[in-house]
Each structure stands twice: as structure tokens, then as C-alpha cells.
Amino acid sequence: MTLIGKPGCHLCDDARAVIEQVRSALTADGVATELVELDILADEELARLHSEDIPVVRIGEKRHAIWHVDAEKFEAAVRRAAGGAKKSFWRR
């Protein structure tokens, strides 16, 4: 998964918090994840593509969300992408 944003972006901070919460739940279920963060200020192409849309969250190469990350939808999408268990942290 990839979080595209920039320093000082409160929406990026909110997205990161949701992502980390979901990653923790997935790890507890044995679903390994890795988060890559990309800064649009360090990459002209990313800035051109996403300057008005940050944060952008991708799962693999597919864009999952912009501006806001819904924890339940994000977890379900990561589980599908990982081929992992269908058990949801939010329905325990």
C-alpha cells in the first residue's frame, strides 16, 4: 500500500492513522502489509498528478481513496488484494 501526501497535511495525517490502525488489525490476523509513503514535494510527477487530491492511498497500483480513508472499506480491499481471510476487525 502507498500513501501519497506531503508534510504538514492534516488529511494525510488522518489517513496515516487509519492505515496504521488497519495494518495493526491485519497483522494480528497474520496478513502482512507494507506501507510506502511518497511525498509530492519531492517528486514533480507526483505533484503534477496529485497536488489537488492528497492524500492518495493506493493498494498495489490501484488508487483506493483520496482525501479520506474509510477504515472498513480499506481493510476489506487490502484483504481482497492479499487473498487473506475475510474476517474483519470491525465486526469482531
Instruction: Indicate the pTM of the whole model.
Output: 0.86
Alpha helices (H) in 1-92, listed in sequence order? 10-28, 44-50, 71-82
Q: Which three cell numbers stand for residue 17?
A: 492513522
* pLDDT per position as a tens digit, 42-55: 999 999 999 899 99
Mean pLDDT score of the chain, rounded to an integer? Answer: 90
Find the Cα–Cα–Cα–Cα dihedral 6, 23, 14, 47, rounded to 10°. Answer: 20
Specify the pLDDT at position 86: 53
Cα distance between the two ends of the chain: 24
Task: Mark the ranges of the chain whose per-residue pLDDT is less than 50.
Answer: 89-92
Domains along the chain?
A: 2-84 (3.40.30.10)
Specify the pLDDT at position 75: 96
Q: In what order do the strands lie in the sheet with 2-5?
A: 36-39, 2-5, 56-59, 62-66
